[in-house]
Amino acid sequence: MTAKIAVSLPDHLVAEARAAVAEGRAGSVSAYVADAMEEKSRRRTLSEVLDDLDAELGPPDDASRARADRALDALRR
Assess if residue 2 is contained within a domain: no
The one-digit pLDDT tens for each residue of the chain (77 residues) are 999 999 999 999 999 999 999 999 999 999 999 999 999 998 889 989 999 999 999 999 999 999 999 999 999 98
**What's the distance, Cα to Cα, between the start and end of the chain in Å?**
41
What backbone phi and psi angles, to 5 degrees, belong to 4? -90, 125
Q: What share of the chain is helix, strand, coil (3-state, %, to 5)?
A: 75, 0, 25
C-alpha–C-alpha distance, residues 28 and 38, integer Å: 15
Cα–chain-centroid distance for residue 60?
22
pLDDT at 77: 87
- Number of compact structural domains in the chain: 1
Q: pLDDT per residue over 39-54, tens digit each?
A: 999 888 998 999 999 9
Residue 36 lies in a domain: yes
6 belongs to a structural domain: no
Residue 30 CA to residue 21 CA, distance in Å, equals: 10
Domain-located, residue 3: no
Query: Is 4 among the domain residues?
Result: no
Domain that holds residue 47: 11-76
